[in-house]
Amino acid sequence: MFTIEHDFDATVITLVDEGAARPEALREDVIITAFEDCVTLRQLDSQSGDEVVITLSLSQLSELAAALNLPEGSYRLEQPQKRR
């Protein structure tokens, strides 16, 4: 399950883990916040109780999306040419 909310300066997506057959195997919610210049992923560390935050630039996010559909290897995405 997931939710999508549009705030003033960001879109917030919350991913809820419902897939495990055993409740003790469920993971904490992942909250993804998309800003104009970056995306953050937040998740509570159930062992320490601390929130872990990862910030991705938009180019890192594009590379991650591409990587999910590529075989093993090393890649560099070409940047689109700017129009004059």
Percentage, residues of the chain above pLDDT 90: 54
* Strands of 1-84, DSSP E: 2-6, 11-15, 30-34, 38-44, 51-57
The total domain count for the chain is 1
- With respect to residue 9, please indicate whether it lies within any of the assigned structural domains: yes
Gap between the Cα atoms of 2 and 40, Å rounded: 16
> pLDDT value at position 84?
67
**pLDDT tens profile 50-63:** 999 999 999 999 99
- With respect to residue 75, please indicate whether it lies within any of the assigned structural domains: no
- With respect to residue 20, please indicate whether it lies within any of the assigned structural domains: yes
Residues 40/53, Cβ–Cβ less than 8 Å:
yes
Range of the domain at 54: 2-61
Decide: helix, strand or coil at residue 57: strand
- With respect to residue 84, please indicate whether it lies within any of the assigned structural domains: no
- Residues 70-74, mean pLDDT to the nearest whole number: 87
- With respect to residue 45, please indicate whether it lies within any of the assigned structural domains: yes
Amino acid (one-letter) located at 77: L
Query: What residue has token string 């090393």?
Result: 74
Residue 83 has pLDDT above 90, yes or no: no
- With respect to residue 67, please indicate whether it lies within any of the assigned structural domains: no
Q: Categorize the per-residue pLDDT at 20 as very low, low, confident or very high, splitting at 50, 70 and 90.
A: low
- With respect to residue 37, please indicate whether it lies within any of the assigned structural domains: yes
Shortest CA distance to 6 belongs to which of 45, 34, 47?
A: 34
Least confident of 9-13, 19-23, 75-79: 19-23
